[in-house]
């Protein structure tokens, strides 16, 4: 199975700008990418980075918007795993990859889709708006069987400053180590967040 990991090289993770400067966001996003790639490899697959600009050898460069880029590289028996899933583990990916349906979806918070396995030849992604709902509708329209994987680790993508607390609490990769060197947990206002040392 082909495993694509889309990654935006220029200006990654702009919604983290309130707590991370440009260089920190680049570094943190690359560490999350490295953690995701390591988890995919440990699950027994060879990932391909689908990046918006060259990163290193072995990546596939496609500057087009996410939906267009993924669809142009989508073939039957392809998985797509987002690069900002800092909590993902090989065992969680194994469940995703080994689930035997035409399409397997891992929804994210806010209506998005964080990971997909597509085995149906007519399935195409649509990452705009409430993509999880849209992907379920696409499956119905093409007659594809679909299964949803309900997973905290696949459902937690790191986009907002509040998400960093999840990495400190539950992460164990390079991104978590990097974050732990700069931030600590804060429990003000009855919520868990992060603050710089």
Question: For 69-106, what is each residue's pLDDT tens digit?
Answer: 999 999 989 999 999 999 999 999 999 999 999 999 99
Return the residue matching tokens 């290193």: 56
Q: Flag whether 44 is in a domain.
A: yes
Contact (CB, 8 A) for 55 and 68: no
Q: Flag whether 186 is in a domain.
A: no
Q: What is the CATH number of the domain that holds 78?
A: 3.90.550.10
Q: Flag whether 28 is in a domain.
A: yes
Q: Flag whether 23 is in a domain.
A: yes
Confidence band for 189, pLDDT divided at 50, 70 and 90: confident
- Is pLDDT above 80 for 161? yes
Three-class secondary structure of residue 147 per DSSP: strand
How confident is the model over 139-146, as a mean pLDDT?
A: 99
pLDDT of residue 76: 87
Strands (E), 67-192: 78-81, 103-107, 113-118, 146-148, 183-186
Q: Flag whether 67 is in a domain.
A: yes
- Is pLDDT above 80 for 56? no
- Is pLDDT above 80 for 58? no
Distance CA 31, CA 27 (A): 6
In this structure, the dihedral spanned by the alpha carbons of residues 125, 127, 130 and 136, taken in order and rounded to 10 degrees, is 10
CB neighbours of residue 143 within 10 Å: 9
């Amino acid at each position: 199975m082909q495993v694509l990991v889309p990654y935006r090289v220029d200006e990654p993770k702009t919604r983290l700008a309130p707590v991370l400067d440009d260089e920190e966001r680049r570094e943190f996003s690359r560490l999350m990418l490295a953690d995701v790639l390591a988890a995919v490899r440990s699950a027994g697959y060879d990932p391909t980075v689908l990046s918006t600009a060259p990163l290193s050898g072995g990546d596939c460069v496609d500057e087009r918007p996410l939906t267009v880029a993924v669809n142009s590289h989508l073939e039957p028996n392809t998985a797509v795993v987002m690069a900002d899933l800092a909590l993902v583990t090989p065992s969680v990916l194994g469940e995703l990859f080994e689930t035997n349906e035409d399409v397997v979806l891992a929804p994210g918070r806010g209506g998005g889709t964080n990971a997909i396995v597509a085995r149906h030849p007519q399935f195409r992604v649509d990452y705009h708006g409430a993509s999880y709902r849209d992907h379920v509708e696409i499956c119905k329209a093409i007659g594809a069987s679909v299964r949803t994987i309900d997973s905290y680790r696949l459902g937690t993508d790191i986009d907002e400053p509040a998400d960093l607390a999840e990495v400190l609490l539950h992460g164990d990769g390079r991104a978590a180590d990097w974050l732990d060197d700069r931030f600590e947990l804060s429990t003000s206002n009855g919520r868990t967040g992060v603050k710089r040392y």
